[in-house]
C-alpha cells in the first residue's frame, strides 16, 4: 500500500552543484511534479544554500509551458483543472501562514491546467504546508546549519517514501542515507521506480513493497518444510 510522499532532497556543502541542479529540476518537475516519489522538500546546508537556491530558481524559471506532445515543451499541465485549483489553494494557504513565494505561485495564462514552477521558502513547522504533499510543480526550500540538522528536518515528516542526498563523498552519502527514515534513499540521484528495485515506504506512506525481489514475494505462497533430529520434550 502506497499513500504518497514528501521526499527530502538533501544538498550537502560538498555537492557537485551543476549535477545537483539538474537532478533537482528533474526530481521536482518530471510529470509536472505529479509523482508520489518526486523530490518535494529541498534541504540545503548553509554553506551551499544561497548558490543552490539561486541556480534552482534560475533553472525552474527557464521552463517553457506548452503542448505536452511538442518535444520543445519543458513544462506540461496538471492532470485536471481540479488538481490545479487544489494546488493553488495549498500555495495560498501556505502564504497565509507565513510562507514566502520565491518563484511562481500562479496559474499560467494559457489554455489548460498550467501552473508556474513554484518555490516556497520560510515554511515553518506550524504552517499546514510543512506537513502537506504538494502534488504538482511546487518545491519547498529549507536552509539548515549542517548535516545533522538536514537529517532531522528530513525525518520531521509524516511520510516516509523516499529521498536523496547529494555529496561528493559516497561514504558520507551512505551514512546520511542510513539515518533518514524512509523506505528508499538515493545518493546523487533521485527516487526512482525500476522493475528490479523494491519500491515502498514507511510511516503514513504505507507498508509493503512492490517490484524487485521483495515485491514478487507478495505474490508467492511460502511453504515451510522442516527436518530436524531431536527428541520430543518430556510430557
Catalytic residue among 2, 13, 181, 210: 2
The Cα–Cα gap between 97 and 107 comes to: 20
Alpha carbon 41 to chain centroid, angstroms: 6
Catalytic residue among 32, 36, 133, 147: 36
- Our answer to whether residue 2 is catalytic in this structure is yes
189, 173 in Cβ contact below 8 A?
Answer: no
The Cα–Cα gap between 140 and 22 comes to: 17
Question: What does each C-alpha distance from 34 to 127, 182, 230 come to in angstroms?
Answer: 22, 19, 58
Q: Regarding beta strands 159-160 and 100-103, do their DSSP bridges make them parallel or antiparallel, or are they unpaired?
A: unpaired
182, 207 in Cβ contact below 8 A?
Answer: no
DSSP letters for 85-101: HHHHHHHHHHHHTT-EE
- Our answer to whether residue 36 is catalytic in this structure is yes
39, 7 in Cβ contact below 8 A?
Answer: yes
Contacts (Cβ under 8 Å, ≥6 apart) of 108: 65, 114, 115, 116
Helix (H, G, I), strand (E, B) or coil at 119: strand
The Cα–Cα gap between 226 and 137 comes to: 54
Residues classed as catalytic: 2, 36
Amino acid at each position: 500500500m502506497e499513500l504518497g510522499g514528501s521526499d527530502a532532497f538533501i544538498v550537502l556543502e560538498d555537492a557537485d552543484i551543476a549535477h545537483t541542479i539538474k537532478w533537482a529540476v528533474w526530481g521536482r518537475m518530471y510529470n509536472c511534479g505529479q509523482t508520489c516519489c518526486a523530490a518535494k522538500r529541498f534541504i540545503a546546508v548553509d554553506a551551499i544554500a544561497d548558490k543552490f537556491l539561486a541556480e534552482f530558481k534560475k533553472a525552474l524559471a527557464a521552463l517553457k509551458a506548452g503542448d505536452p506532445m511538442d518535444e520543445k515543451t519543458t513544462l506540461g499541465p496538471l492532470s485536471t483543472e481540479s488538481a490545479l485549483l487544489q494546488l493553488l489553494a495549498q500555495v495560498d494557504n501556505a502564504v497565509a501562514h507565513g510562507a514566502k513565494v520565491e518563484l511562481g505561485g500562479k496559474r499560467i495564462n494559457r489554455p489548460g491546467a498550467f501552473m508556474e514552477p513554484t518555490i516556497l521558502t520560510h515554511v515553518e513547522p506550524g504552517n499546514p504546508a510543512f506537513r502537506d504533499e504538494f502534488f504538482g510543480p511546487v518545491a519547498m526550500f529549507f536552509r539548515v546549519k549542517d548535516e545533522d540538522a538536514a537529517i532531522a528536518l528530513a525525518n520531521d515528516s509524516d511520510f516516509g517514501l523516499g529521498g536523496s542526498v547529494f555529496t561528493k563523498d559516497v561514504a558520507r552519502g551512505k551514512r546520511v542515507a542510513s539515518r533518514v527514515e524512509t523506505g528508499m534513499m538515493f545518493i546523487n540521484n533521485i527516487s526512482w521506480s525500476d522493475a528490479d528495485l523494491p519500491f515502498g515506504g514507511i510511516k503514513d506512506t504505507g507498508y509493503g513493497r512492490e517490484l524487485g525481489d521483495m515485491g514478487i514475494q507478495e505474490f508467492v505462497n511460502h511453504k515451510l518444510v522442516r527436518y530436524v533430529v531431536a527428541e520430543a520434550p518430556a510430557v
